[in-house]
A = this chain, B = another copy of it.
Amino acid sequence: MSLPEAHVTEPRRSASARSRAETRRRLIQAGTALFARGGLHGVTSTQIARRAGVATGTFYLHFRDKQELFHAIVFEALADLRARQERAGAPHASGSLAELRARTEELLAFAEDNRDLIRVLFGRGGESATVGEEVLDEIVPGIERALERRRAEGVAPEDVHPAVAAQALAALLVRVIAWWIDHPEQATRQEVVATILRMHPSQLGRTGRPGSPAG
């Protein structure tokens, strides 16, 4: 429903809105890059603003404080990650090894596309602090329910406790990815994928090599 007055003011609004959104985007980008190096406490709001090309005060026009920028960085990236995971898994049968492999590979691709972000959250010297935990809290329940389903289907072993395994898997993925991003020479992408799939709780019952194309 477009009101006449909305029609009149829209060009102006959308113009300033575009500018506002652009400034916000730059602050997020600057924050990601700087947090990756210095962590939440190692970076000042003034540094972030300067890198974004705006004045210090502008920072607070867009975020209540540093913590909120941190939060925004993380959860906007998480939404992106989820969308990409969804797309990656879509072509495959739900719960299949093929789907799992596709999602794992997509996860590595995402990490490569967002190195700074990964470092912010889980990397060296990073102080993911509360936010890192919030991310795990966002991720873990989904994993846990999936594992419960797999176990009910008899695919996953009975003695793998879903809640425990969910914590384990989340931490495992996060750490392996953060490590590999910084040490890509230590293992090929295939090796990383294969090892993750091997250790994946839903695959523990399998005897064959999940890494094989026929898996």
Contact = CB atoms under 8 A, between A and B. Distances in A.
Interface in A173-215: 174-176, 179-180, 186-187, 191-192, 194-196, 198-199, 201, 204, 207, 209, 211
Given A125-B129, A164-B176, A157 B192 contact: no
Interface string A152-164: 0000010111011
| Assembly stoichiometry (copies) | 4
A124 interface: yes
A172 interface: yes
A14 interface: yes
A130 B41 CA distance: 13
Contacts of A172: 168-169, 171-172
A116 interface: no
A89 interface: no
Interface string A104-126: 00000000000000000000111
A58 to B, nearest CB: 14
Contact of A199 (B129, B165, B186): B165
Given A167-B176, A199-B168, A133 B129 contact: no
Contacts of A167: 175-176, 179
A127 interface: yes
Nearest to A207: B207
Interface of A: 5, 14, 39, 41, 124-130, 133, 157, 159-161, 163-165, 167-172, 174-176, 179-180, 186-187, 191-192, 194-196, 198-199, 201, 204, 207, 209, 211
